[in-house]
Amino acid sequence: MTSLKHATKGTIGEVDEDIGKFLAYVDGKAAEGEFTQDIAAEVERIKQHNETRVEYMTLMMELKEQRREGMEEGINKGRVDTIIEVSTS
Domains of the chain, residue spans = 9-48, 50-89
Using 50 as the pLDDT threshold, list the residues of the chain that sit under it.
none
Q: DSSP state, 56? A: H
Angle at the Cα of 11 (from 14 to 19), degrees rounded to 5?
Answer: 50
Hey, what's the torsion of the CAs at 67, 70, 72, 73, to 10 degrees? 180
At residue 69, the pLDDT reads 97
Give the Cα separation of 23 and 35 in Å (integer): 12
- Write out pLDDT tens, residues 31-51: 999 999 999 999 898 888 888
At residue 77, the pLDDT reads 95
At residue 48, the pLDDT reads 87
Determine contact, residues 27/9, Cβ cutoff 8 Å: yes
At residue 29, the pLDDT reads 93
At residue 4, the pLDDT reads 58
At residue 1, the pLDDT reads 59
